[in-house]
Amino acid sequence: MKSINTILLIFAFTIIANAQVKIGDKLPLITLENNLGVVKKITLSNNKYVLIDFWASWCAPCRTGNKKLVRLHDTHNANIEIIGISIDTDKTKWKKAIEKDKIKFQQYIDPKGFDAPTAVKFGVEDIPSQYLFDKTGKLISINPSHEELLKLIK
């Protein structure tokens, strides 16, 4: 009986582990509210790399990272689409941060902190966390370095 339980437990954990996004996977279905208050399904752009960035207004390293992302968006918009997903629980603080950091790329919110279903789906344990999808929509890198990104999208 005990061994059956153990097997079941391992099986349950495998399901959970399998549910997480991994290299080679396609973008999972995500429907979230954006910064214009519209609930939208996140779709990948054709013929562009897509970088999904998990962040929050209270996370200092994320805010520093935003500056880099804004610059990347300004200079390489034609080759890469940046999609921010905030796990802020306070939407007002989130919107203020978008304004302050002058973010013009797409922004969505899953306002439940680390318990946010989207964060769980991606296996986000720290923020910032970034997921890079290639032009065919496959996940090719988790937390790519800035240099790695620039090399790819040149």
Partner 1 sequence: MKNLKLNYTFITSFLLMLSVQMNAQISKVEIIATGLTCSMCSNAINKQLKSLPNVLNIETDLNTNTFTVYLAESNTANPKIFKDSVEKAGFFIGSLVITTTANTVSKEPYILIDKSDSTSGEVKVQVLDKGYITDKEFKKLSKSMKNHENYLLNNEDDFYIKYSK
Q: Does 21 bind partner 1 (CB under 8 A)?
A: no
Q: Does 109 bind partner 1 (CB under 8 A)?
A: no
DSSP letter at 89?
A: S
Q: Which is nearer to partner 1, 60 or 78 (CB)?
A: 60
Per-residue contact flags (x/-) with partner 1 for residues 40 to 69, judged by CB under 8 A: ----------------x-xxxxx-------
Nearest C-alpha neighbor of 81 from the set 108, 118, 112, 119: 108
**Nearest approach, Cβ of residue 97 and partner 1 (Å):** 12
**Nearest approach, Cβ of residue 128 and partner 1 (Å):** 8
CA torsion angle 138 132 105 33 (round to 10):
70
Please say whether the dihedral angle defined by the alpha carbons of residues 67, 23, 25 and 148, taken in this order, is positive or negative.
positive
Nearest C-alpha neighbor of 113 from the set 133, 96, 132, 90: 90
Instruction: Provide the token pair at 135.
Output: 């032009």
Number of residues this chain uses to bind partner 1 (CB under 8 A) = 13
**Nearest approach, Cβ of residue 123 and partner 1 (Å):** 10
**Nearest approach, Cβ of residue 109 and partner 1 (Å):** 15
Q: How far apart are CA 42 and CA 144, in angstroms?
A: 21
Interface contacts to partner 1, rule CB under 8 A: 56, 58-62, 113-114, 124-128
